[in-house]
Amino acid sequence: MKAFVVEKYGKDGARAAEVPEPIVGDRDVLVQLRATSINPLDKLVRNGELKQVLKYKAPFVLGHDVAGIVIRVGPAVRGLKAGDEVYARPRDLRIGGFAEFIAIDQDDVSPKPASLTFEEAAAVPLVALASWQILVDRARVKPGQKVLIHAGAGGLGSTAIQLAKHLGATVATTTDTDTEKLVRSLGADVVIDYTKEDFSTVVSGYDLVLDTVGGANLEKSLTVLKPGGLAIGVVGPPDAGFAKQLGAPRFMGVVMNTLSRKIRKQAKALGVRYQFFFMQANGFQLRKLAALYDSGKLRPVIDRTFPFDQTLDAMAYVEQGRTKAGKVVVSMVPDND
């Protein structure tokens, strides 16, 4: 089958290749992909920036989002069958969305939202799961709470705004002039154009900040939280909880706590908290999210769609910062019926 594989870590380490069709284990479903999408995580994995905790063995197929049709199931699979239309974010060390076929553990797979095309569904899994796990599992957002979501027009931001509103929160977001109308349409109550205003002078007393930028932006985010508030960062710095989540050796937890010592110290001094977040595959949660997409509570935001043979061009497009809003999708069937 055709796939895009990482042969060596680095910017030029991925290429198109012919690779064997995946082996289907007892608990696996074999999916013929109809679409996938590009995530910042693809770049991090390709470049080896997570190799200390995610030990991929080259060559491996890249790609963290899947939408397609089940072709075959393992003997222990229940609730899924050949012909089912599904979507998934395969678990770490078993990724492979940039390919014609992928074998996925049944626990990571969900029937795709019936109201979405394959291309739309492919834009959803990673960012929807991340939004759910941050807002519902980690922060336990309740009606009436105040949530600041940075980069609201991005793939994660655009999804998190919608879910936070569904949960009853008052939502503020940062964006630029070109996407202000979009984020308002997604439900943002307070829109801060970062090209004109400093968000830390506009909002205060927030329960949660979702930071997708890092650095000085994260440090400044701590100041808009109310006492006891929580800042969750998805670009770092990592903490010991991340090492524990990945089952890394204990010393890696010490290393990661060292990396995040400064921001955690700043948070403590302000009477607030900081946590790093790294999402996990979860088919059960994808089923819940599918219902929200089908009910119209959530909708995908797509910037552009590339054909499968231009997957590396799609990655470059994202890396160059050319995405204006939402996700960049790769379609295996350009003229999708």
Distance separating alpha carbons of residues 154 and 151, to the nearest angstrom: 6
Say if CB 102 and CB 96 are below 8 A apart.
yes
| All CATH 3.40.50.720 domain ranges in the chain, comma separated | 126-276
Quick one: pLDDT at residue 240? 85
pLDDT, tens digit (0-9, with 9 covering 90-100), for 202-237: 999 999 999 999 999 999 999 999 999 999 999 989
Q: Which pLDDT band holds residue 335 (cuts at 50, 70, 90)? A: low
Q: Which pLDDT band holds residue 244 (cuts at 50, 70, 90)? A: confident
Quick one: pLDDT at residue 333? 84
Distance separating alpha carbons of residues 76 and 248, to the nearest angstrom: 29
- Enumerate the β-bridge partners of residue 73: 29
Residue 252 has pLDDT above 90, yes or no: no
pLDDT, tens digit (0-9, with 9 covering 90-100), for 155-170: 999 999 999 999 999 9
Q: 3-class DSSP state for residue 171?
A: strand
Residue 31 has pLDDT above 50, yes or no: yes
Distance separating alpha carbons of residues 121 and 105, to the nearest angstrom: 18
Q: Percentage of the chain with pLDDT > 90?
A: 90
pLDDT, tens digit (0-9, with 9 covering 90-100), for 168-211: 999 999 999 999 999 999 999 999 999 999 999 999 999 999 99
Ranges assigned E (strand) in 117-235: 146-149, 170-175, 190-193, 206-211, 225-233
φ and ψ at residue 132, rounded to 5 degrees:
-60, -50
Quick one: pLDDT at residue 178? 95
| Average pLDDT score over the chain | 95
pLDDT, tens digit (0-9, with 9 covering 90-100), for 63-122: 999 999 999 999 999 999 999 999 999 999 999 999 999 999 999 999 999 999 999 999
Say if CB 4 and CB 63 are below 8 A apart.
yes
Q: Which pLDDT band holds residue 22 (cuts at 50, 70, 90)? A: very high
Q: 3-class DSSP state for residue 72?
A: strand
Complete DSSP assignment for 3-51:
EEEESSSSTT-EEEEE-PPPP--TTEEEEEEEEEE--HHHHHHHTTTTT
Classify domain 126-276 by CATH architecture: 3-Layer(aba) Sandwich (3.40)
Q: What is the mean pLDDT of residues 12-38?
A: 97
Say if CB 64 and CB 128 are below 8 A apart.
no
Quick one: pLDDT at residue 337? 42
pLDDT, tens digit (0-9, with 9 covering 90-100), for 126-152: 999 999 999 999 999 999 999 999 999
pLDDT, tens digit (0-9, with 9 covering 90-100), for 262-289: 999 999 999 999 999 999 999 999 999 9
Residue 247 has pLDDT above 90, yes or no: no
Query: Which amino acid does the sequence have at 132?
Result: W
Half-sphere exposure (Cβ direction) of 152: Cα atoms closer than 13 Å: 34
**Class at the top of the CATH hierarchy for domain 2-123+300-331:** alpha beta
| All CATH 3.90.180.10 domain ranges in the chain, comma separated | 2-123+300-331
Q: What is the mean pLDDT of residues 3-7?
A: 97
**Cα dist. 120→66, 193, 293, 314 in Å?**
11, 27, 10, 16
